[in-house]
Structure 1
Amino acid sequence: MGAYLSQPNTSKSSGGGGSGRLSYGYSAMQGWRVSMEDAHNCMPELDSETAMFSVYDGHGGEEVALYCSKYLPDIIKEQKAYKEGKLQKALEDAFLAIDEKLTQENVIKELSQMAGRPITDHEDKNKVADEDDVDNEEAVLLNEEATMTIEELLTRYGQNCGKGNRNKSCGHNSEKTDSEDKAASVNGDLEPDVQCKNGEKEASTASVSSSKDGGGSCSSGSSAPSRASRAAVSCSSSTTGEAGPSCSSCLSQPAVTDKSKFFEDSEESEAEDEEDDDSEECSGEEYSSEEAEEDDSEDVEEEEDDNDEEEMLPGMDGKEEPGSDSGTTAVVALIRGKQLIVANAGDSRCVVSEGGKAVDMSYDHKPEDELELARIKNAGGKVTMDGRVNGGLNLSRAIGDHFYKRNKNLPPEEQMISALPDIKVLTLNEEHDFMVIACDGIWNVMSSQEVVDFIRERISRLDQSGEPANLSSIVEELLDQCLAPDTSGDGTGCDNMTCIIVRFQPYSHSNAEANKRKLDVVEAVTENCSDSSKKAKTD
């Protein structure tokens, strides 16, 4: 479910054309969505013998769909297999090639411009983060504390938050070095090149980014334990299964110079802590040991599940990056001679009408499908009850979405989200009159057969009238038919919509004239029969 407008945007971008072999019409409509994230290609002459038609349904932004529309045709033609006439292999290679390009710095910059986010490189991101004083100071503070021993933490909050410093913000009374600023990102996560401080214990009880409530005034002694737990950093990443960023060794820390002063200031705090511990022990005696173990295990499991959900969702680290936190489906049809080759990744769809019967030339890639689910699990992912990969994307194949493609032990086609397309080939004959390529905004509302029936009825009506079939007007009528009257339902009919109709037999004026002559003959015969019957009655 996406965000919706108060009224749908029903303006349409439509067009059509053709060649000596085929004719086509298309239309695209934003609908109820707050932005249009679809793109398409209509190229009746990709080269002298090949036509290409495609639909891209973007998610997380329009940029990847637009990039594919702009560059995928040329990337297909550049493939060695394409030059050798191996179109199936060429489509597979092209999908993987453009997906790999989305990780390159220059392409990410172009995607950012397409998305209206011109700042993309790490230096500019840090510059923006530095301008956000509150978040940056909190990030640096947590970064400092992550490298400190428990004794140093207690020293800091025993001395700095003493009676003479009650009005000072904890940890913000010292100057920050340039290295400290660079080590902290927008949300307080550590950069990958940061190393653990030698000779000090690594804290691993909480994530740096799990709290945003630092920076307030402290009272003597009482805040040290909670701040210390928030400052601890986990040095492993459950998202990828690889070692994550560690604590910084380059940050200077305050030395413990007067332990007696610290113990004097924190004596009262220790007494309070002992009382809290005693009260917790007393209350714990009310439960049996088995019940306590069950409660603890359930709490741990729930906490781990929650952490997994949060860590696996893209964009939650505050570093949304085009191509990583955005992607697109892609369904591409190539027509060469009598061969129709369709490549699909995602849940956009291509359907051919064979004598009025719908023939699916692609199938939707959903995470709960057996083959897709096996790949997702093998890559270290999971599918939630609502059919989403790690609780996020409800697709199992797409171009982009590199947040889900970070398992370095697997090739690109075996990642949780794969860009490898399925390929179907059809030899066209006289029974194949047209094909439809559309995004799921259409297929979520109507079945493949319903769409074929809708289009075929209107094409037949125009043919019989002697008028050329205006395919784009038929598509526009289809989009209006699929548009939901409001957004009160489950989202069906509220998505972006893009559809292309390709008629394999081009409509010629000679055929129109022949049809018109047939109609004239039928009318003349009917009139003659009517006149003859009237004359017979008169006689």
Structure 2
Amino acid sequence: MGAYLSQPNTTKSSSDGGNSSMSYGFSAMQGWRVSMEDAHNCIPEFDKETAMFAVYDGHGGEEVAMYCSKYLPEIIKEQKTYKDGKLQKALEDAFLAIDSRITTEEVIKELVQIAGRPTEEPPAEKVAEEDDLDTEEAALLHEEATMTIEELLVRYGQNRNAVKHAAAISAAAKKVSTPHGEATGDKEDGEGQKKEGLNGEVEEVVDSSKKVKEEVDSSKKVKEGEGVTGGSKLRACRRTGGGEASATDGGESGSSNGKEKAGKAEGDAGPSCSSATSKPAGDSQSRFFDDSEESEEGEEGEEEEEGSDEEDGSEEEEGDSSELEEEDTEEGEDSEDEDGEEVCLPGMDGKEEPGSDSGTTAVVALIRGKQLIVANSGDSRCVVSERGKAVDMSYDHKPEDEVELARIKNAGGKVTMDGRVNGGLNLSRAIGDHFYKRNKALPAEEQMISAMPDVKVLTLNGDHDFMVIACDGIWNVLSSQEVVDFISERLKPDQNGKVRPLSSVVEELLEHCLAPDTSGDGTGCDNMTCIIVTLRPHPTQSDETKKRKHQEEADGTEPEENGNDGKKAKSD
């Protein structure tokens, strides 16, 4: 099913926690996606005065999101601006700092380990093979120099008839050049009839003097040309088509056309060699007749007599090759924008590098005293409920937005009709994704994909009930107000005055947003991660139970079902 599972993975990772001034509930679910790429932080005791909550929505792999959840908290604390109490600037500095670290070799190695990708073996053997290439070529040339024409023809895949007539051609050549050709020819014909062929069959001798005479010239061409120049070209072509050509096509183009071309070369050495060298071979054969005045006539005759064969054979293969080349060219043209700038997707160069071809959104909330500071890069979101009204504390960064579009174009990129940067990412800010951050003339915050966050600050008061931080798997299904309404309804005490754990409310929200199937436009099919933070202590059911047990032990009375305290029960 492509990027989706046949059935959703609804297993949830959930937790609850808090301190004397706040409580939180968290839950995450993989859903329909083939892997879980989200990460988070819930740190109510970030320092003595501050709490930190964050959600990271990875793309192209989970490694950058996991790396951020592991290291961003400490990087924030390391910033001088954080130590100076300038939290807004500290978050900006921290986002850019961790994004810069992802380009270092040490961090890339760690990202590879987090992703669980196999590390490449050192190319010692490959280098050794390349070093010994000249020696192998020399040995092969020496071997071919001592081979007969028949063996050369068999080695390079010539047609079977040429192999069968090779002995007859050689005998006919001797017969023409010998004064007593008739007697000698008879003798050689007899020997030729008894000689066993290379394929285990008795080779037949053509008695037609006309056919033998016609093939003398062909024999001369084979001896003088194919045995040296032609043989070398065929050998080189086989090596290129079978190995180096495929690696080049696959590595440089990274396209289906390149793979198709390489597959053709590997699958059938004969046609691939003909396709690669048909025209040069024809030219080299014609040069072998320049010793006499018949050279030009021979070339013209060859072109007329063999015209149909060349059209049906080598030229047809040349056509196939040229068609592939044209397709590659067209694709290359498509991969460039109007200004000639390269426009391609991550991984098209044949390899994927964590941090370059993967990244993550990040929305981070710091609570210090009455101040809420939220930094966001990407399309994850933070929302605060103010007496049941949704207050957005972050801005979704989408490529088609005016500010984002201007930066993308200034950096040399473009946004396609479906709202994607250079046809790839459908968001315009993220940590990682350094494939899109290669304009050396611009600072990090002005690249087409920027890690620079927008930061908003809110002074909290009694009207603020709770805060929600979630990835776009939630916000693509429900609006900010719909999420606030959903949670508000479920945070109300039940008839017995009991309240639900926050994590159970989050779990119900994830289930509510999960699509029943993947037949739609992808809404409800993404990974889902959400954190609810109440901006005051949240009494859960377990807290109520503990409180009642404590009252029993202290007063020796049993609380009534209506939630009255022990003293009241005792006085009654």
Distance 1:103-1:161 versus aligned 2 partners, 3 A rule: farther
Name the aligned partner's letter for residue 334 of structure 2.
D
Contact 1:163/1:220 (8 A) holds in 2: no
| Pair 1:12-2:12 in alignment | yes
Partner of 2:431: 399
Deviates more, 1:4-13 or 1:161-170: 161-170
Report the TM-score when normalising by structure 1. 0.69
Partner of 1:239: none
Distance 1:218-1:175 versus aligned 2 partners, 3 A rule: closer
Contact 1:166/1:219 (8 A) holds in 2: no
1:245-264 aligned within 5 A:
260-261=287-288
Of 314, 337, 342, the match for 2:374: 342
Contact 1:16/1:26 (8 A) holds in 2: yes
SS in structure 2 of the partner of residue 334 of structure 1? strand
Distance 1:9 1:219 in 2: 48
Contact 1:350/1:437 (8 A) holds in 2: yes
Partner of 2:82: 82
Contact 2:234/2:273 (8 A) holds in 1: no
Of 316, 331, 355, the match for 1:323: 355
Distance 1:167 1:59 in 2: 47
Distance 2:93 2:301 in 1: 65
Q: Deviations over 1:460-515 (max 9, x none)?
A: 134x64224410000000000000111111111110000000000113569999xx
Distance 1:226 1:491 in 2: 52
Task: Quote the sequence identity (%).
Answer: 67
Partner of 1:155: none
| Pair 1:170-2:242 in alignment | no
Which runs of no fewer than 5 residues in structure 1 stay unpaired? Answer: 138-157, 191-206, 229-256, 280-298, 522-539
Partner of 2:570: none
| Pair 1:482-2:513 in alignment | yes
SS in structure 2 of the partner of residue 58 of structure 1? strand
Partner of 1:217: 270
Contact 1:26/1:472 (8 A) holds in 2: yes
Distance 1:227 1:318 in 2: 31
Name the aligned partner's letter for residue 514 of structure 2.
L
Name the aligned partner's letter for residue 493 of structure 1.
G
Q: CA deviation at 1:363?
A: 1.3
Partner of 1:249: none
The RMSD of aligned alpha carbons is 4.4
Contact 1:221/1:269 (8 A) holds in 2: no
SS in structure 2 of the partner of residue 460 of structure 1? coil
Q: CA deviation at 1:188?
A: 3.4
Deviates more, 1:307-316 or 1:504-513: 504-513
Distance 1:476 1:390 in 2: 36
Partner of 2:417: 385
Distance 2:272 2:419 in 1: 48
Partner of 2:386: 354
Partner of 1:308: 336
Distance 1:391 1:269 in 2: 55
Partner of 1:37: 37
Report the TM-score when normalising by structure 2. 0.65
SS in structure 1 of the partner of residue 237 of structure 2? coil
1:117-196 aligned within 5 A:
117-119=117-119, 124=122, 126=123, 168=235, 170=237, 172=239, 187-189=250-252
Distance 2:505 2:359 in 1: 29
Distance 1:518 1:117 in 2: 57
SS in structure 2 of the partner of residue 308 of structure 1? coil
Of 453, 457, 472, the match for 2:485: 453
Q: CA deviation at 1:186?
A: 9.6
Q: Deviations over 1:324-355 (max 9, x none)?
A: 00000000000000000000000000000000
Name the aligned partner's letter for residue 523 of structure 2.
T
Contact 2:345/2:422 (8 A) holds in 1: yes
Distance 1:28 1:132 in 2: 50
Partner of 2:404: 372
Contact 1:347/1:395 (8 A) holds in 2: yes
Structure richer in helix, relative to its length: 2
Q: Deviations over 1:207-245 (max 9, x none)?
A: 9999535453358876348999xxxxxxxxxxxxxxxxx
Q: Deviations over 1:270-300 (max 9, x none)?
A: 959xx99xx9xxxxxxxxxxxxxxxxxxx99
Q: Deviations over 1:171-222 (max 9, x none)?
A: 518999xxx99xx8894349xxxxxxxxxxxxxxxx9999535453358876
Distance 1:10 1:174 in 2: 49
Distance 1:488-1:131 versus aligned 2 partners, 3 A rule: farther
Distance 1:174 1:4 in 2: 37
Distance 1:311 1:132 in 2: 36
Partner of 2:465: 433
Contact 2:493/2:499 (8 A) holds in 1: no
| Pair 1:54-2:62 in alignment | no
Name the aligned partner's letter for residue 60 of structure 1.
G
Distance 2:526 2:2 in 1: 8
